[in-house]
Chain A
Amino acid sequence: MPTLTLVQSVNDALRTAMRDDPSVVVFGEDVGPKGGVFLATQGLTAEFGAERCFDTPLSEDGIVGTAIGMAMNGLRPVAEIQFQDFIFPAFDQIVSEAAKLRYRSGGQYTAPLVIRAPYGGGIRGGLYHSQSGEAYFCHTPGLKVVVPSTPHDAKGLLIASIQDPDPVLFLEPKALYRSVKGEVPEGSYRVELSTLRTAREGGDVTIFCYGAMVPVATKAAGRAAESGIECKVIDLRTLLPLDEEGVLEAAKETGRVVVLHEAPRFCGYGSEISALIAEHAIEYMEAPIKRVTGFDTPFPNTLEHHYLPDERRVLDAIEQVHAY
């Protein structure tokens, strides 16, 4: 079985989907001959031609708006937004249009599209190449939000997203693009949306996380184990629609919860997990639910490593909930 990096598995997913379904088209800025600024679309124009993998003008609203048009007229577009930080001109199209089209037309018009975007910090990208904006989109009924953390999941989730009848925002953790390798089956396979993955088993503390924070959580769990604290690490994978039962089950197993994300704390995704557990499983909790997050500031460049949650901060939280 081939071993691929996360970005290679994205490339593999796109190639596989394009081979299996001639209605799949890939487009965005610099995705054609250049193959994308992270090489995620490398080789696709060469194999499938410029009508199926092509460059667009510099216009995120145009990219998503035309993707909606293509999707509701029989194509399966996979649009790339070069960095999630640049998605905001397309926010209107995503929130007002793609997410609401099925609902407002009684199902006459739908938008089976995927928007892929690298997100998150760790590459010295400063304010505008590091953002984790998943919370803006998880607040949007009608949209799906998916975040892989392994090469295996990236391919399977992307294929499933492309096949999904609803619009999917597929956020790829750029910090893991080349730093994470894993075995990736050849050919087509799906990892179902709205399913969790247990990245590490443990009975003392449950850590909920996604994307580039999954390796941070597992490393912190490794250090906690040295003091005899065993952590269960849950990779959420699909943020919306969330496997709420799965979350509650994993929380109840230990009664001590840490939620981890890079994005700022206030109104971040961790708030939802905390509220869900507090509402439905409070009697199982042995400690307050602790969130480890980015600060409530824009994302700084030089001091990036102080901003991003690291093993030390996660370990602190694990020890606090364990000792409560």
Chain B
Amino acid sequence: MISVIEPDGGVNGYDPGLTDEELLHCYRTMLRARVFDDTCMKLQRSGRISFSIPNLGIEATQVGAASALRRTDWIFPSYRDFGMALYHGVAALAMMHNMFGNASDSARGRQMPAHFSFEEPIHLYSISSPIGTHVPHAVGAARAFQLRGGDEVCLVSFGDGGTSSLGFHSGMNFAGVWRAPVVFLCQNNGYAISCPSDAQTASETYAIKAEAYGMPGVKVDGNDLLAVRQAVVEAVARARRGDGPTLVEARTFRMGGHSTSDDPTRYVPPDVLAEWAQRDPLERFERFLGKRGLWSAEVREGMLATAREEIQSAAHAAEKTAAPGLETIFSDVYADLPDHLRAQGEAAFDLARRKGDAIAGDGEFPL
């Protein structure tokens, strides 16, 4: 398993290929991801949003991987990948609009929270709940880049549980046959809801599954941002020069539950949790930054304060934004609105008006 940052913060001469400012951006992004996550947990527990998905403990995997991509590469995320979105400049406000499912949400309030979809500033492909279905999508999109002679790369992210899905098998196999420019990132965070990794597969590692599909597989310490970065940089370079796909397994740990509907204390042994708490990815990176003279407790406190301010105002702004209009139920089913849906929309507006529901406006179907 590849590791880069030593316990004392040294990296044995490894050059991350990032400027000081870029390194601090990585750190700041991890802090913002943690604050975003914490804020969403609190919003859900207080009933202000309906649902959230913790990514506590997984920040280095997400940000390390994201740091290896260009803005023109495409990300096919899992629903836990807040850090990837934030790294490439997706606004916390845009993400909060989705968490609140309001009129400014790019998904128009149609999806559960954390099921983001963005085209700018980077393509962060629309997230759905079924597991592994996005893996062949990433491969197909990569194939399209290949056929057009581009050098863009697709990064597709999924958990240990995702490797049992049909989509994983098909996607990996097609990518191998096509030598598609894909980086498969398996975030092995120890659990698929309550199913521990050793009940998910009999394979010795997840990285070893790459061999079955004719591509290299590499296992890295997922709580070491630089180790993840190193592996993904190499995999992205391989893909970009036409040498095909790679599977990267990032070994990390899901410090929170599967979602706000899950209580992990019912199945995660407390000693396992305590052990992983010693390997916090932020503290690890702080030791590296400190050794470079880039970090102090003041730096952290300053960044945290800014992040809290930023994310809390985003939450407030999103909360104050109105719900989507009733017509959003009927739009985007097809490119053009068919007659039968127009009729249903008109009936829905008429009923809402008769009920005295403000969402009906003047009762006219606006599309």
Which residues on A are within 8 Å of B, measured CB to CB? 29-30, 32-34, 37, 55, 57-59, 61-62, 85-86, 88-89, 124-129, 265-266, 295-298, 300-303, 306-307, 312-313, 316
Known contacts A266-B340, A295-B344, A306-B329, A301 near B195 by CB under 8 Å: no
Least CB distance from B367 to A in Å reads 12
Q: Which 9 A-B pairs have the closest CB atoms?
A: A302-B109, A128-B129, A34-B194, A126-B112, A57-B164, A302-B101, A58-B161, A58-B164, A124-B50
- Which residues of chain A have C-beta atoms less than 8 A from B101's C-beta? 301-302
A301-B111 CB under 8 A given contacts A124-B51, A295-B329: yes
With A and B bound together, what is the CA distance between A314 and B170 in angstroms? 45
Which of the 9-residue segments B278-286, B300-308, B351-359 touches chain A?
B351-359
Q: State A126–B323 Cα separation when bound (angstroms).
A: 15
When distances are taken between beta carbons in the complex, the residues of chain A under 8 Å from B166 are 59, 61, 89
**Cβ contact within 8 Å between A129 and B112:** yes
What mask results when residues 171 to 197 of chain B are scored 1 for a CB within 8 Å of chain A, else 0?
A: 000000000000000000000111100
List 11 additional A-B contacts (Cβ < 8 Å) besides A55-B199, A124-B51, A306-B348. A33-B194, A58-B131, A86-B130, A127-B129, A295-B344, A296-B333, A300-B110, A301-B101, A302-B110, A303-B326, A306-B352
The complex places the Cα of A85 from the Cα of B50 at a distance, in Å, of 19
C-alpha spacing A297/B333, complex, angstroms: 6
10 contacts between A and B (CB under 8 A): A29-B193, A57-B199, A58-B131, A126-B110, A128-B129, A129-B112, A265-B344, A295-B348, A303-B326, A313-B351
When distances are taken between beta carbons in the complex, the residues of chain B under 8 Å from A89 are 130, 165-166
Contacts of A312 in B (CB 8 A): 351, 355
Q: Which of B112, B132, B341, B348 has the most CB atoms of chain A within a 10 A radius of its CB? A: B112
When each residue 96-125 of chain B gets 1 if its CB lies under 8 Å from chain A and 0 otherwise, what string results?
Answer: 000001100000011110010000000000
Q: Are the C-beta atoms of B109 and A301 separated by less than 8 Å?
A: yes
Known A306-B326, A306-B352; judge A296-B341 contact (CB<8 A).
Answer: yes
Q: How many residues of B contact A (CB 8 A)?
A: 45
Instruction: Decide if B112 touches A124 in the complex (CB within 8 Å).
Output: yes
Closest to B132 in A: A58
A52 to chain B, nearest CB (A): 16
CB neighbours of A265 from chain B (8 A): 344
Which chain B residue has the least Cβ–Cβ distance from A88? B130
**Residue of A at shortest CB range from B359?**
A306
Bound-state Cα–Cα, A213 to B111, Å? 23
Chain B min CB distance to A86 (Å): 6
Asked if B54 is an interface residue, CB under 8 A from chain A, the answer is: no
The answer to the question of B200 belonging to the interface, with a C-beta cut-off of 8 Å to chain A, is yes
Given A58-B164, A58-B192, A313-B351, does the pair A300, B329 have CB atoms closer than 8 Å? Answer: yes
- Pairwise interchain contact B330-A297, C-beta atoms closer than 8 A: yes
List B residues 84-104 near A (Cβ within 8 Å). 101-102
A313 to B354, CA, bound (A): 11
Write the nearest CB–CB distance from A147 to chain B, whole angstroms: 22
A-contact 0/1 string along B299-339, CB 8 Å cutoff:
00000000000000000000000011010111001000000
- Identity of the chain A residue whose Cβ is nearest the Cβ of B102 in the assembled complex: A302
Answer whether A29 and B195 are a contact pair too, CB < 8 Å, given A126-B115, A127-B111. yes
Minimum Cβ distance to chain B for residue A287 (Å): 18
A58 interface neighbour in B102, B115, B195, Cβ under 8 Å = B195
A295 closest partner in B (C-beta)? B344
B39 within 8 A of A: no
Contact B195 A30 (CB under 8 A): yes
Contact B50–A295 (Cβ < 8 Å): no
Q: How far is the CA of A89 from the CA of B111 in the complex (A)?
A: 21
* Residues of A close to B51: CB separation below 8 A: 124
Alpha-carbon separation in the docked complex, A302 to B100 (Å): 8
Distance of A266 Cα from B340 Cα, bound (Å): 10
B residues near A306, Cβ cutoff 8 Å: 326, 329, 348, 352, 359
Q: Are B266 and A297 in contact (CB under 8 A)?
A: no
B128: CB under 8 A from chain A? yes
Q: Quick check: A59 and B165 within 8 Å, CB to CB?
A: yes
Residue of B whose beta carbon sits closest to that of A302? B109
CB contacts (< 8 Å) of A300 on chain B: these are 109-110, 328-329
Nearest CB in chain B: distance from A265 CB, A: 8
The CA-CA distance from A177 to B335 in the complex, in Å, is 37
Q: How far is the CA of A30 from the CA of B267 in the complex (A)?
A: 10
Contact with A307, one of B161, B262, B329 (Cβ below 8 angstroms) = B329
Chain A min CB distance to B319 (Å)? 13
- Residues 127 to 152 of chain B near chain A (Cβ within 8 Å): 128-132
Nearest CB in chain A to that of B259: its residue: A37
Docked CA distance A257–B327 (Å): 29
Q: Which residues of A contact B115 (CB under 8 A)?
A: 126
Q: Does B162 contact A (CB under 8 A)?
A: yes
Q: Please report the C-alpha to C-alpha distance between residue A86 and residue B112 in the assembled complex, in whole angstroms.
A: 15
Q: Which residues in A have their C-beta under 8 angstroms from that of B296? A: none
List residues of chain A with CB within 8 A of the CB of B132: 58
CB distance from B250 to the nearest CB of A (A): 18
CB distance from B356 to the nearest CB of A (A): 11
Q: How far is the CB of B108 from chain A (nearest CB, A)?
A: 8
